[in-house]
Amino acid sequence: MSSPRVLVLRAPGINCERETLHAFARAGGAPEFVHIRQLLEAPERLDRFGVVAVPGGFSYGDDISSGRVLAQEMKARLGDRILGFVERGGLVLGICNGFQVLVRLGLLPCTKNRLEEEVTLTHNLSNHYECRWVTLRTEKSRCTFLPAGLTLRWPAAHGEGRLVARDANLQKVLLDEGYAALRYVDDRGQPTERYPWNPNGAPLGFAGLTNASGRVLGVMPHPDRSYLPTHMPAWRRTVLDRGELAHDGDGMVVFREMVRVAKAES
């Protein structure tokens, strides 16, 4: 079995592509950059990949609304092909701005298998950007590659991360039917809406979503900034307590599991 090919999307303003690429490579994938222009010119390129990653950043400056312009571009010119990619077994990861793009595109949570904006990621209640490490719990969800029951520390770094569903009914569906893949938890391990454990005020502490088929994952906090052991803020304490550095940082699980599943299915 060869390494699964991972498309790491580049676009004006995307700025986490290097670390995303490195994390997938470290996990045993075969990642490569593809610029959105190249993809729009030849959308069939998509079919050569097993995994698509939309990295974080400020696509097109993000100054109308985060991720909207890139999502609009992808929807208009790639829309069905992306749905088809997922239906045929492709995996998709959106991190931070990439998550915002997937949400605006309608690929997440995609409860009705059509590209439609069902939720949004909107302004933090603080009304400003904030960078802080958060604690996350992976839920029992539809996600085919993210194990449930993990407690993970990743850094959040965003100004528009408050996940709001279109209505209360959908919000309940997201929770009850396994779309909410990750939630912010407080110092007792409980899902929380309270600052600072929940940095943006998202109802029910939603931090990440998967889609109906569990093949798409979007997360606001950054596994791509927490996959190496020295990324972790407490790595020096870990060395003292365990006598050595951990092998991975907490974000590594996402890349490793995506590569593992993509490989097993290829």
Which residues of the shown chain bind other proteins in the complex (CB under 8 A)?
10, 12-13, 15-16, 18-19, 22-23, 26, 35, 37-38, 56-58, 60-65, 68-69, 72-73, 76, 117-120, 122-133, 155, 157, 164-166, 187, 195-196, 201, 222, 224-225, 227-228, 230-231, 233-237, 239-240, 245
φ, ψ dihedrals at 196, nearest 5°? -90, -5
Nearer to other proteins, 1 or 240 (CB): 240
Compute the least distance from the CB of residue 144 to other proteins, in Å: 26
**How many Cα atoms occupy the beta-carbon half-sphere of 258 within 13 Å?**
33
Paired sense of beta strands 162-165 and 119-122, if any: antiparallel
Q: How far is the CB of 201 from other proteins (least distance, A)?
A: 8
CA 111 to CA 118: how far, in whole Å? 8
Q: How far is the CB of 183 from other proteins (least distance, A)?
A: 19
Q: Which is nearer to other proteins, 90 or 161 (CB)?
A: 161
Neighbours of 174 (CB within 10 A): 24
In the complex, the smallest distance separating the C-beta of residue 114 from other proteins, rounded to whole angstroms, is 14
Of 222 and 256, nearer to other proteins (C-beta) is 222
Largest Cα separation within the chain, whole Å, is 53
Closer by beta carbon to other proteins, 149 or else 241: 241
Nearer to other proteins, 49 or 133 (CB): 133
Minimum CB separation from other proteins for residue 87, in Å? 24
Neighbours of 50 (CB within 10 A): 23
Least distance between other proteins and beta carbon 265 (Å): 27
120 vs 210, beta carbon nearer other proteins: 120
Q: How far apart are alpha carbons 137 and 208 in whole angstroms?
A: 10
Distances (CA, A) of 182 to 20, 223, 263, 265: 19, 12, 24, 24
C-alpha span between 41 and 129 (Å, rounded) = 34
